[in-house]
Amino acid sequence: MTTKGKKIEIIRKIVSLENEQLIDKVDDLLKGEIATLKARRPGWGKGMINAISDDFDDFTSPGFLNE
């Protein structure tokens, strides 16, 4: 699909949106396109992993550690 075709398809989807929150999110995304990319900062991923299995360290793949 061409870039123009992709844009038309996205516009059709946006026009059909009924959920106000989704419309706001799309608007925020489009506003963010203008903003410059920010460098990663420590702590941005905090809270992404909710739990780690108790047996997480029980198995080490062969070749992972040089013994």
Q: Which tens digit of pLDDT belongs to each residue from 4-27?
A: 999 999 999 999 999 999 999 888
Cα–Cα–Cα angle for 51, 55, 44, rounded to 5 degrees: 30
Q: What's the rounded Cα separation, in Å, for the pair 44 and 28? A: 19
Q: What angle do CA 53, 46, 19 make, to 5 degrees?
A: 100
Q: What is the pTM for the complete model shown?
A: 0.44
pLDDT value, residue 19: 92
Q: Over 60: is that where the pLDDT of 34 sits? A: no
